[in-house]
Amino acid sequence: MLIAVVSGDLPPIGTTCEIGIFTEMIRADSNKKLVALYDDCREGYLTVNDAKIAAMKSEPGEGQMSYVNIFLTGAIKVYGKLVTDSDHLIATLEKIANE
């Protein structure tokens, strides 16, 4: 099992590499499990409104939306689970343990 933390402005490059290698391992052995935690505390993506979108378009540095590389997100979702808080992480791990 790989539990990866991909929170922050940029996921750590080593973690990203490990996820890539691990997804190949999952292709060979479906008993392996991948869970990634992305708990961006800004949570700007939860509150989208016209004023925020206008500011993002007109003012540099005003992007309050969280971002995880789409390729990385896709690999995590195809081969594992992406969770957004520690409670969801624990519940996911418990579910995997009981499978």
Structural domain spans, the chain: 2-97
- pLDDT (0 to 100) of residue 29: 93
Q: State the Cα–Cα distance between residues 36 and 64, nearest whole angstrom.
A: 22
Residue 35's SS3 state is strand
User: Chain centroid to CA 91: how far?
Assistant: 16
Q: State the Cα–Cα distance between residues 57 and 48, nearest whole angstrom.
A: 13
The reported pTM is: 0.76
- pLDDT (0 to 100) of residue 42: 60
Mean pLDDT of the chain: 84
Query: Which pLDDT tens digit goes with each residue over 30-76?
Result: 899 999 998 875 655 566 677 777 766 665 555 556 667 889 999 99
Give domain 2-97's CATH architecture.
Answer: 3-Layer(aba) Sandwich (3.40)
